[in-house]
Amino acid sequence: MKNILSILAMAAGVLLFSNGINASGYANKTESGGEGVGSMIQAIKHAERARTHKAHAEHILQNAEKSLEYAKKAEAEAIEGGNDKGRRPITESIRHLVEAINHAKMGHTDIASEHITDALEQMHQFATQ
């Protein structure tokens, strides 16, 4: 029961956070006026899903891989858009996602979850720049 409540709380947080980004206009532009951060928002959503599956390595792996795909796309968009300030958080989030994927493949769910949390911190930093 405690896990269900935790998952529901996380889901509510994801919905509130993603709506806040969309409402504030972050989904359509970056500070530099380049490409949008829509890919990063998708990366965040998948990373949040990965984090809710703390005890299930396969679910962490699937969502972390999807998050990594979107984070790499966001990195390409930041480079194309000339967003130099955004590149460091994206690079760090990608590094943490790769580590999370590697640990999830080995069944180290606790370590994978820690890397997901660190990746999310960097993603949020990018999205709010």
- The answer for residues whose C-beta is within 8 angstroms of residue 18's C-beta and 6 or more apart is 41, 44, 45
% of the chain beyond a pLDDT of 90: 47
Q: Does domain 2-127 have CATH number 1.20.120.660?
A: yes
Shortest CA distance to 69 belongs to which of 34, 94, 95? 94
Decide which of 54 and 99 is more confident. Answer: 99
Per residue in 6-62, pLDDT tens?
A: 665 565 555 555 544 443 344 444 443 334 478 888 999 999 998 886 778 999 999
pLDDT at 12: 58
Average pLDDT value for residue range 63-83: 90
- Tell me, what's the pLDDT at 97? 96
What's this model's pTM, rounded to 2 decimal places?
0.71
In this predicted structure, the answer to whether residue 70 has a pLDDT above a threshold of 50 is yes
Length of the chain: 129
Is 70 exceeded by the pLDDT of residue 4?
A: no
In whole angstroms, give the CA distance from residue 119 to residue 73.
15
Is the pLDDT at 106 greater than 80, yes or no?
yes
Residue with the bigger pLDDT between 126 and 129: it is 126
Predicted local confidence at residue 5, as pLDDT: 59
